[in-house]
A and B are shown apart, each in its own frame.
Chain A
Amino acid sequence: MSDDILVMQGITKRFAGVTALHEVSLTVRRGEIHAICGENGAGKSTLMKVLSGVHPHGTYDGDILFEGEPCAFDGIRDSERRGIVIIHQELALCGQLSVAENLFLGNERSRRGFIDWNRTNHEAQALLDRVGLRENPTTPVNDLGVGKQQLVEIAKALSKEVRLLILDEPTAALNDDDSQHLLDLLDGLRNEGITSVIISHKLGEVTRIADTVTVLRDGRTIETLPAKGLSEERIISGMVGRDLEHRFPPRTPDIGEEVLRIEDWTVHSPAQPDRVVVDNATLSLRRGEIVGLAGLMGAGRTELAMSVFGRSYGVGISGRVVKDGREIDTRTVRGAIRHGLAYVSEDRKKYGLNLIEDVQRNVSAAALDKLANRGWVNENEEYTVAERFRKSMGIRTAAVSTPTGTLSGGNQQKVVLAKWMFTDPDVLILDEPTRGIDVGAKYEIYSIINDLAAQGRAVLVISSELPELLGLCDRVYALSEGRITGEVSREEATQERLMQYMTRGQS
């Protein structure tokens, strides 16, 4: 009993009708590295947010025992006081401040309200030594690379006398050397008696460093296995072993000739111009075809799509976009739209909709010129168009004059789709088209996608949900670390096979 530092039992967490965690249990032994694996959306991050108090006590069901005592955290400060520290995927550092200031942010070394700089820098140096980061504590965090920033985060955790360290995808943004260093550090901390929980998609890392692996799927605990001798294939089968009872609308593919080909596409990260995000990717789409793009978080799916669509992401982009046999210029969004491309973002609230405007004005936003005569918009035509899409796509709203911010996720997604359908594209790139949408609305979105293909358009679907890709697509490309690592037809595609491609080439 006292061997277990953490016991989570029967954790159930619901968001507005969607059950994110269902009776999840997790037991972590003292001094081990415990890996949590699962597909995107399996509930890993939610579980960690419950543990760290981001989702406070009372918003979930179930019990948490930390070092044998029941916990009821109201916020992240509560959990940190007990020695549970979470390091998120997006680092929470103030870039302008120095390393030392970041280490003691909210926990300042001070005397009578004034910062004790000597003590701050001295203690910071000691912490940096512990994590093996050779940097001056007065260096601004922005001057460090992502790998070193990650180490600063860990040093910050150590400053809080951490007993349980939680890392959410710690190596997703790191190169091989930095990843290696980080894993070595975790190994060292284990020897000091610090327990770690690590969420990772990189199964190679998991099998190498973890002592125990817990697999989550669809918000449930599937199994907890000792990591020793565990194969990646074994973990994958646990991650994907979901029943394929999802219902997809029936469809008879009618596939024509190639309409779009992306050749030798390479994109670099704007934050780190020497880091390759998309690596020499080549893929093609045919008329009437639904093609999937599978990849784990950080594989470069969205980056690939957005860089093609008007260079909306990335620097140092090279490669060709060929449409109907001719190279086209997609350097601007307008150019991409003019050549019949459409991109539906994975984040509809941030990139897709003007939430304070109504349905009508959102539907027309990408093709307002079509409704205009010499620069003047015909609002009545605009209304007719919006009304037509409202009916044909089943956008459930009292009127097209309703602000889109008040619609449900599924209906918002339909508005975004309507906006792009109104541009009459030949190729649609749909990035996570069913994210955050309930099951009923998903079916409707699938039907819309099928209709788009039936109209002779090519659709590229980016999705984290493998069953969705299998149920929807004629062909699926797998992307791993920016490279196309595989291409499988509908007949050959299985989740296991895709998952192998998606994790291929990862250390």
Chain B
Amino acid sequence: MTTKIAPAPAAAPPAHSRRFSINLRQSGIYVAFALIVVLFAVLTDGALLQPQNISNIIVQNSYVLILAIGMILVIIGGHIDLSVGSTVALTGAICAVLTVQWGLPWPVAVLLTLLSGAMIGAAQGYWIAYFGIPAFIVTLAGMLVFRALTLTTLGNQGIGPFPDEIRSLSNGFTGGYLGNIGLGPLGGADLVSLLAGLAFVAGFALSQWRKRAARLGYHQTVEPMPVFVLKIVGVGVVVMAVVVQLARFRNLPWVLVLLAALALGYSLMAGNSVFGRHIYSIGGNLQAATLSGVKVKAVTFWVFVNMGALAALAGVIFAGRLNQAGPTAGMSFELDAIAAAFIGGAAVQGGVGKVVGAITGGLIMGVINNGMSLIGAPSERVMLVKGLVLLAAVAYDVWTKRRA
């Protein structure tokens, strides 16, 4: 009897080719975003990339992007939140009552609004996590309940106007603290904005470099140097191009600063914190997570608390932008946020997705909206295209998964 030799790993593809194909799948969304931008830049004769238009795209989509950050975490955890549109309306109304009617100072009012959003999330999270009702049902109920509470609060009219500080959070721009600097043929541009952009790129490059060095220190595989440099340069060029255009217009929108901070913070949280990891493990395999000692209920609860707080932030920004809290605010925002998450690579069954992906998904829809309205397409056609893009994105995801 011959000793059985363990079969060699059946023709495993070499590590580098596998790595590359994974990259292709994950980076598909960014490639698609780039193509869409180029497409509309051509279709609109460059109007899409004009300084004011770039600023508009960011400001107009900021609240959906904030919602998308919360939504991607909910979806990674294997749930859904249909109530965020109504939460945006209700928290906007709360903020209006606190500032306009009660005359509270704006920082207190904003803080209380965020807190009320968190409580809305906690209420829903309780039913979902501890009572075991599917999130779809709980948040569908929430969608109705919070809209009803908004109408109760506001009656049939809006409340406004908001204090200037809240308005500038939504609509305002950083001041030209250091004056302008000439950029040759591009004309004058705000120095602070440019420096901020450069600092961001430098910080990104440095952190990536340190991460790479640390991985090398642990003898891990890293991407080849040319790819690494190309990635840094690519991100740097895109960021600086956007910043230069913004600096030529009216400096950086405050909401962009806020978004950048949120994107950075939540990316780190999702990828590197114990809490973030637990969200992925719950969405990936609930039973395995439970049997590994993950506090499944608590994590689910806090994911919804977080979603509520972010929805409140979006509520403040949306109300501030319109300078009034209205009863119909936030209608169908939940669908935009959900679509952004799925276009950005989330999986319906949970466990998969990235914060940056969701933001990119939101921007894809924003660019389609903006670009199509620039070329004068009617709104029904915009809707049609957005629907098809959502379907195509998920179909691509399913297809690559099946091939793998």
Give A residues with C-beta under 8 Å from B.
245, 309-310, 312, 332-334, 336-337, 343, 345, 350-357, 361, 365-366, 368-369, 372, 375-377, 379-380, 383-384, 396-399, 401-402, 419, 439-441, 444
Contacts and interface: CB of A to CB of B under 8 A. Distances in A.
Given A384-B218, A396-B9, 10 more contacts: A350-B288, A353-B288, A354-B281, A354-B284, A365-B281, A368-B277, A377-B272, A380-B214, A401-B19, A440-B5
In the A-B complex, the 7 residue pairs with the closest CB atoms: A354-B284, A366-B292, A440-B6, A334-B293, A354-B285, A380-B218, A333-B293
Nearest to A410: B6
A334 B289 CA distance: 11
B6 A345 contact: no
19 contacts: A310-B291, A312-B290, A312-B291, A333-B292, A334-B295, A350-B285, A351-B287, A352-B291, A354-B281, A354-B289, A356-B351, A361-B280, A365-B294, A375-B274, A376-B273, A377-B274, A398-B13, A398-B15, A440-B7
A365 B280 CA distance: 10
B169 to A, nearest CB: 29
A337 B293 contact: yes
Chain B CB within 10 Å, residue with most, of A356, A361, A369, A397: A356
Interface string B267-305: 000001111011011001101111111110000000000
Contacts of A384: 218
A399 B15 contact: yes
Interface string B250-282: 000000000000000000000011110110110
A361 B277 contact: yes
Given A312-B290, A383-B220, A353 B285 contact: yes
Interface residues of B, number: 40
Given A368-B278, A441-B6, A377 B351 contact: no
A499 to B, nearest CB: 27
B18 interface: yes
Nearest to A365: B292
Contacts of A401: 19
A178 to B, nearest CB: 30
A271 B294 CA distance: 25
Nearest to A372: B274
A407 to B, nearest CB: 9
B292 A398 contact: no
Nearest to B5: A440
Contacts of B351: 354, 356-357
A309 B292 CA distance: 10
Most interface-central of B14, B274, B287 (chain A CB within 10 A): B274
B4 interface: yes
A49 to B, nearest CB: 26
Nearest to B10: A408
Interface of B: 1, 4-7, 9, 12-15, 18-19, 214-215, 217-218, 220-221, 272-275, 277-278, 280-281, 284-285, 287-295, 347, 351-352
B215 A440 contact: no
Nearest to A378: B272
Contacts of A365: 281, 288-289, 292, 294
Contact of B275 (A312, A375, A380, A419): A375
B290 A356 contact: no
Contacts of B15: 398-399
Nearest to A351: B287
A356 B284 contact: yes
Contact of A398 (B18, B284, B295): B18
Contact of A350 (B12, B19, B287): B287
A354 B76 CA distance: 13
Contacts of B272: 376-377, 379
A444 B4 CA distance: 12
Given A369-B274, A375-B273, A375-B275, A380 B285 contact: no
B278 A357 contact: no
Given A368-B277, A383-B218, A355 B284 contact: yes
A333 B291 CA distance: 6
Interface centre among A332, A343, A345, A383 (most CB of B within 10 A): A383
A326 B165 CA distance: 61
Given A377-B274, A441-B6, A354 B218 contact: no
Contacts of B290: 312, 333
Nearest to B351: A356
A309 B6 contact: no
Nearest to A419: B292
B288 A376 contact: no
A457 B386 CA distance: 58
A162 to B, nearest CB: 37
B293 A352 contact: no
A447 to B, nearest CB: 12
A353 B354 CA distance: 21
A368 B12 contact: no
Contact of B4 (A357, A397, A440): A440
Nearest to A306: B291
A245 B4 CA distance: 13
A368 B279 CA distance: 13
A377 B214 contact: no
Given A356-B352, A366-B292, A380 B215 contact: yes
Nearest to B22: A401
A377 B278 CA distance: 11
A62 B19 CA distance: 44
A361 B283 CA distance: 14
A345 B278 CA distance: 20
A360 B295 CA distance: 20
A366 B293 contact: yes
A355 B292 contact: no
B291 A351 contact: yes
B6 A377 contact: no
A345 B285 contact: no
Nearest to A406: B404
Nearest to A369: B274
A380 B281 contact: no
Contacts of A399: 15, 221
A431 B327 CA distance: 57
Nearest to B404: A406
Contacts of B214: 380
A332 B280 CA distance: 21
B92 to A, nearest CB: 32
B351 to A, nearest CB: 5
A312 B217 CA distance: 41
Contacts of B4: 439-440
Contacts of A310: 291, 293
A89 to B, nearest CB: 21
A379 B288 CA distance: 21
Contacts of B7: 440
Contacts of B347: 356
Contact of B291 (A345, A383, A440): A345
Contacts of A372: 273-274
A398 B215 CA distance: 17
Nearest to A335: B293
Contacts of B293: 310, 332-334, 336-337, 366
